[in-house]
Amino acid sequence: MANTGEVLRIVNRSGNRPSHEGAAEQLDRAILLCREAGFRKICLRGDTDFTQTKQTRRLGHRGVTFLFGIDAMPNLKAIAEDLPASEWSALRRPPQSAAKPTRRARPERVKDQIVRERGFQTLTRIHEEVAVVAYRPTACQKTYRLVVVRQTIAVEQGQARLFDEIRYRFYLTNDRKGTGRGLVFKANDRCDQENLIAQLKGGAHALRAAVDNLVSNGAYMVMMALAWNLKAWFALSVPEHPCHKTAHREQKRRLLRMEFKRFVNAIILMPCQIVRGGRRLVYRLLSWNEWQGMFLRVVQRLRC
């Protein structure tokens, strides 16, 4: 089975317990679940609370790739400060507007102007550099790759620039092939499960407490999540004709990433007249939209 991306997201956000408590056990459960599902390659990403060096040494023996943030401890800062200039390379991030094009004009940014006029202190990132070094945590017997990001921050107050500050960010990984720039972008990449949670909350309303008890609200959440799963199943069922493979695959991708509200309006609420006669049922579509061709292909495939 091909690895199509992240399949599970682990969250440790209990109300009165440290967020790293039980993280290793949750990672073990995630790995087991992915193995049972048939995934051959597993990549674990997490913030600094998932970096537990006593547990990290077990992951390499399972064929699992991990990329965890690690706290900027004094010994790591000392390693970064002792690196020669030749080890550093510029880290250039792509512009946000190019990463996510939009059709409507962006509103004027007035927040920065107000902050400066009122004399508040602001932090502006001037440039970044990245370096990769070998590092062996104290609790481990194996050497891993330590990705170091050096940020130059301009501290300003009002219209005056006070000073420049150097900050470091660290990532620990057993990925031996990725470049420093690629690993940083991979660590900072937004998990697609964030978008799924947003759709379950605002689209399918799965997190809405519809009734007055916990059990019923849990059942309601499961039913709404099943509605989202049916939407994903419908998108994955779109057939791809060999002559139009590229266009049909693009339709499948757009439908799979479509917001739930739009899916309901385009597919579920499609007006249709049902006529019974001559020992058959005739379905007459009373309006047209761009998804009807794809919808009829899926219907034909399900009837075969």
Instruction: Provide DSSP, 139-199.
Output: T-SS-EEEEEEEEEEEEEETTEEEEEEEEEEEEEE--SSS-HHHHHHHHHSPPHHHHHHHH
The residue among 115 and 266 whose pLDDT is bigger is 266
Which single residue is written with the structure tokens 């409507």?
A: 104
Domain boundaries, the chain: 23-98+110-189, 197-303
Q: Is the pLDDT of residue 7 over 50?
A: no
Q: Is the pLDDT of residue 54 over 70?
A: no
Distance from C-alpha of 57 to C-alpha of 27, rounded to nearest angstrom: 13
> How does pLDDT run across 18-35, given as a tens digit for each residue?
666 777 788 888 888 888
Both tokens assigned to 174: 């057993």
Residue 169 CB burial class (10 angstroms; 0-12, 13-18, ≥19): buried
Q: Is the pLDDT of residue 264 over 60?
A: yes
Distance from C-alpha of 42 to C-alpha of 286, rounded to nearest angstrom: 47
Q: Is the pLDDT of residue 159 over 50?
A: yes
Give the mean pLDDT of 51-62: 64
pLDDT band at 49 (very low <50, low <70, confident <90, very high): low
Whole-number pLDDT of residue 38: 86
Q: Is the pLDDT of residue 79 over 90?
A: yes
Both tokens assigned to 114: 């107000």
Q: Name the average pLDDT for the chain.
A: 82
Q: Is the pLDDT of residue 116 over 70?
A: yes
The residue among 116 and 81 whose pLDDT is bigger is 81
The residue among 130 and 160 whose pLDDT is bigger is 130
Q: Is the pLDDT of residue 2 over 60?
A: no
Q: Is the pLDDT of residue 1 over 50?
A: no
Whole-number pLDDT of residue 170: 94
Q: Is the pLDDT of residue 51 over 70?
A: no
Q: Is the pLDDT of residue 273 over 80?
A: yes
What pTM value is reported for the model?
0.62
